[in-house]
Structure 1
Amino acid sequence: MRKLLLKLILAAIAVLPLFLVQVIGAALGILAYVGSKQYRSLFRPQYEAVVKSHHLPFQIWSAAAASGQLFSDSLWIWSNPLAALAKAEIQNWDVVEAAMAEGHGMILLCPHLGGFEIIPRILAEHFPATIMYRPSRQSWLNEIVEKGRAYPNMHFVPTNIHGVRHMTRALSKGEAIAILPDQVPSGGDGIWSNFFGRMAYTTTLPIRLSKRHSTPAVMFTAKRKSIGSGWVVNAKRLEPFSEDPNVAAQELNVAIENAVLTAPEQFIWAYNRYKHPSGAELPPSN
């Protein structure tokens, strides 16, 4: 009964105007920060360390509000894809066209920032896109996410060997794939590398796929504009990754850092980017 009620509430929120949805999301983000000690213990130290090290203003309440909007944006985009596309201001689209014109496909790298869920939909308006995702542990939430993410020309595959095979086939056909590069991979699928001054277990999948297929990697961001106004979507092509896997992992993390620093308050700071996944080797000391 509780899960059904939550589904109905989320469905009701999703049909509201973006302005109201983002206000609700901001309120929920602040409530989560105030009400959960565990949430704060992850959120504040990660956010605070980054803004202080880069001499940026410390805007904890804006960041807490934006953390709720990260989900509310996604919810609205899933339910209102055409309206969401109309609210996306796309910059540097020539970067995407040039990458796809090479005929080796494209690796879309998309951190959890702002309205990141709009990015694969923009791509799918022009090219087939295969997107790798990690299913939620809560079946009812996973059902909402999978239903919401369904969209023409977009194909979702799980983060396992079968998903990797689907992505490899997509690249061999010159199609685009999308990977969330700021997620912690499973043990054995990553390398420890510096991320904002701390060692983070970093995925090597985009690096390996880029090398295998001579595929360009493009970093995307979807920076949230003012309340209800939509997002600015930017694409930046990365230089080819180093042949040294450790250097390549650092190159990837620097690219993610640069993406995050375009709108640091809008990043998913409550996610434990520095956890030690089961099966991974111990991290080296900094």
Structure 2
Amino acid sequence: MAGGEPRSRAFQARAIALMWRSLAGRRLSTLWRLARLIGPLVERLSRRERQVTRANLAEVYPSRSPAERSQLSRQSLTHSTATMLELGFAWMGEPGRVETSILEVHGRELLDEARAEGRGVIVLAPHFGNWEVLNFWLSGHFPFTAMYEPPKLAQLDPIIRKGRERRGASLVPTNPRGVAALLKALKRTEAVGILPDQVPSWGSGVFAPFYGRLAYTATLLPKLVARTEARVVTGVALRLPGRGFAIHFLAADTRVYVADEVTSASGVNACVEAAIALDPAQYQWEYKRYRKTPEEAEGRPDFKRFRIY
């Protein structure tokens, strides 16, 4: 029994890697058709994903009818399925094919202008559309550094790392050494990527509104801005189902430039909301964004470190 779980995880990792490799050369239209077949099954058979998605949608879209939210849940899980199927394409597909799949780029001038002014660029990249395609484009057009946390299935780490670095991206750990690397990159007027919608560990965030409800939000951004005067933009790769992707860079909510951490975090969440508005179905609603609560914080001995908006 002792070796059963490691063997199971190794088998799972090999199966996932095989799927990515086998799908890497497929047309995006084929992958989207597969997603439309598999997505409804995920919504029907995966209780956890279905429940979390529906709970989040009820929280952020209370004015929509249950039928509308149910339809949006199915659409969202179909897009999440498409993202999983497209990972092999983004990481292992022929680079020319991936590049030509990016049919539109909007807002690139925000990055070009910042670098012309001698400023680095912080790209807030929420879990929307296909963020790996966004990484592919950024690392091919700008010196680009992003934080990276190895996957739970350790056997997949070399595959993911190679895929993300193949266009020149520099991956740094999610620790003080990684933060130092981001600061150095920004001071060289390069671009760095940050995930704005992951729940941070206790002591690394504050509570700020996200669709009107308090969500524990990371406070790395104001520290980077204060020390580098970098420009902040939101970046997403919007899926054009079956055809390709449209890269969008959006000017950040001005609150992200405020030194106060709660105000800045509120601006970060507003940036994520603005990206989601492009197409709510393409956001990864199955993530438990509200899993840490102010009530939970109050019971902690280091509560004084947490600030409530």
TM above 0.5: yes
Q: Does 1:126 align with 2:119?
A: no
Aligned length: 283
Partner SS state of residue 135, structure 1 = coil
1:263 counterpart (279, 289, 292): 279
Q: Would you say the 8 A contact 1:131–1:157 is kept in 2?
A: yes
Q: Would you say the 8 A contact 2:29–2:241 is kept in 1?
A: no
User: Hey, what's the Cα distance between the residues in 2 that align with 1:138 and 1:13?
Assistant: 20
Q: Would you say the 8 A contact 2:90–2:136 is kept in 1?
A: no
2:92 counterpart (79, 97, 106): 79
Instruction: Give, in angstroms, the shift of residue 190 of structure 1.
Output: 0.8
Q: Would you say the 8 A contact 2:24–2:86 is kept in 1?
A: no
Instruction: Give, in angstroms, the shift of residue 104 of structure 1.
Output: 2.2
User: Which is worse superposed, 117-126 or 11-20?
Assistant: 117-126
Could you say which residue in structure 2 is the equivalent of 1:159?
A: 174
- Considering only aligned residues, what root-mean-square deviation do their CA atoms show, in Å? 2.4
Instruction: Give, in angstroms, the shift of residue 269 of structure 1.
Output: 0.7
2:290 counterpart (250, 274, 278): 274
| 1:7-55 deviation line (CA, Å, top 9, x unaligned) | 2232112221111122223433332221121221211111233234478
Partner SS state of residue 61, structure 2 = helix
Partner SS state of residue 166, structure 1 = helix
User: Which is worse superposed, 66-75 or 95-104?
Assistant: 66-75
Q: Does 1:103 align with 2:121?
A: no
1:2 counterpart (8, 11, 20): 11
Could you say which residue in structure 2 is the equivalent of 1:231?
A: 245
Q: Which runs of 5+ in 1 are unaligned?
A: none
Q: Does 1:62 align with 2:75?
A: yes
Q: Would you say the 8 A contact 1:30–1:68 is kept in 2?
A: no
**Greater per-residue helix proportion:** 2
User: Which is worse superposed, 49-58 or 193-202?
Assistant: 49-58
2:32 counterpart (13, 22, 34): 22
Q: Would you say the 8 A contact 1:124–1:154 is kept in 2?
A: yes
| 1:191-229 deviation line (CA, Å, top 9, x unaligned) | 1111122211101112210121111001112211132x1
Instruction: Give, in angstroms, the shift of residue 146 of structure 1.
Output: 1.8
- The verdict on how the C-alpha distance between 1:28 and 1:121 changes in structure 2, with shifts beyond 3 A counting, is same
Q: Does 1:218 align with 2:227?
A: no
Q: Which runs of 5+ in 2 are unaligned?
A: 1-9, 299-305
